[in-house]
Structure 1
Amino acid sequence: MNDVAVEAVSLAKIYPGNPPVSALRDATLQVLKGERVAILGRSGAGKSTLLNILGLLDAPTAGSYRLLGRDTSQLGGRARDRMRAERLGFVFQSYHVLGRRTVTENVMLKLTTARVGVANREDLTRSAIENVGLSHRAHALGQTLSGGEKQRLAVARAIVTTPPVLLADEPTGNLDDANARAVLDLFDEQARRDVAVIVITHDDRTARWADRVVELKDGRVVGA
């Protein structure tokens, strides 16, 4: 189906050890373009493992994962890195903002990683910063931003390459209601552009916001 952005079938992930740790067990998930999905589960349920696989940061032990119709098991290391940089956007609870770089520099670094041509970087960066309402802080150092501003910067960095899939790990957990709403509004804007938005969360505000809630328990999808 052309409207499927993410399709994971019977994913398993086993980490070696004595005994081995089974982080995912037969997990199946499909997310459509433009859909807002919240993934819930207690600590140890497999949420981070699933997010890492969807983000091409890790590979499953078993099962299949197709991203935008492409079988990721067929990708070599460089192809995975390129697809992650160009087709995925990441937003994390801890922001990962470089304190001694300006807002503009923080965002532009993503374009450098994605190997976007130098001639296009300035316009793309300016547009992303404007979209998240940080134009007035474009030249401020990351260390001077408030928590809400840092998270909006993280969203700008994630969307600057216009990725069709946006992955977020607890993006509102550290924010007050007003800033959490602002971040979710930014995600809404992306969904209206047919971006698939997948959010790992413990936050009831985010669960209520989503089009669909997926629950993980003991590494299995038990509700979707």
Structure 2
Amino acid sequence: MTAVVELESVARTYDVDPPVHALRGVDLAVAPGERLAVLGRSGSGKSTLLNVVGLLDRPTAGTYRLEGRDVSRVGERDRDALRADAIGFVFQESHVLGHRTVAQNVWLALMAAGVPRTDRVWKVPDMIGRVGLAHRADALGRLLSGGEKQRLAVARAVVTTPRLLLADEPTGNLDADNARGVLDLFDEQAGRGVAVLVITHDERTAAWADRTVRLEDGRIVPEVPAGPARPAAGTSGATAAGTTAPGPMPARPAP
């Protein structure tokens, strides 16, 4: 099975004085249905890795294949189309639209993904309810708490049913119950074959993942398996260089 994400010797250098080598020869693969946590200290290259994988930044060297297609040098129009079609983002800063309601934020995400209006009508309230924001459906984004904004960001990313879900500290501002709810939503996506890549400092999230990798100074270093070893669907042959392949995973609940 083709990995969703394949990085081969990927480097990203910023041309400043002196040059900043944010990524150095990164080899990484993420399989359909796999839940990967990326760990590392501030400045280790985690955010740059997320931006490269999310097609927000380009590698300086190496090859990046998304669903088998080399996207290292594709044009901006193709990159925009790929992001809209295949990738869901949850950034550390939630980036909710403050002048729009919770429901409108989710509605607009579906519009941007080309989801028909007939589906938007039921998907919006369903998703808002699943992240615990049904009672805030008509609240403006700017009036939400930090935790509510993060849950709304997760709802916008997940509702479009991407094939690759990228999240930067998705549970960092959440209490244990809401964090578990977010991870349950990620589980549903992984159960449908979505590759989930999460940057985190949260031990709960690292333990939840099928596999972890650690970045240091722009390089992936060996990392022990996270939590009980659990394989994701189709992970054979799709583990990162220098990491340990996951073991058996308990069955996820049906979506």
- What's the TM-score, normalizing by structure 1? 0.92
Does the Cα contact within 8 Å between 1:93 and 1:172 map onto a contact in 2?
no
SS of the residue 2:59 aligns to:
coil
Partner of 2:201: 202
- 1:146-179 CA distance string (max 9 Å, x none): 4333222111100222101100001111222222
How many corresponding residue pairs? 223
Partner of 1:217: 216
Partner of 1:16: 15
Listed as ranges, the gaps of 5+ residues in structure 1 are none
Q: Structure 1 residues 218, 198: CA separation in 2 closer, same or farther (over 3 Å shift)?
A: same
CA shift, 1:116, in A, is 4.0
CA shift, 1:112, in A, is 3.2
The sequence identity of aligned pairs, in percent, is 64
Partner of 1:30: 29
Q: Distance in 2 between matches of 1:103 and 1:49?
A: 29
Matches within 5 A, 1:103-122: 103-118=102-117, 120-122=119-121
Partner of 2:58: 59
Q: Which has the higher strand share?
A: 1
- What's the TM-score, normalizing by structure 2? 0.81
Q: Which amino acid aligns with 2:147?
A: G
Matches within 5 A, 1:38-49: 38-49=37-48
Q: Structure 1 residues 207, 150: CA separation in 2 closer, same or farther (over 3 Å shift)?
A: same
CA shift, 1:138, in A, is 2.2
Does the Cα contact within 8 Å between 2:150 and 2:173 map onto a contact in 1?
no
Greater Cα shift, 190-199 or 128-137: 128-137
Partner of 1:89: 88
Partner of 2:180: 181
Q: Which has the higher helix share?
A: 1
Partner of 2:146: 147
Does the Cα contact within 8 Å between 2:44 and 2:216 map onto a contact in 1?
yes
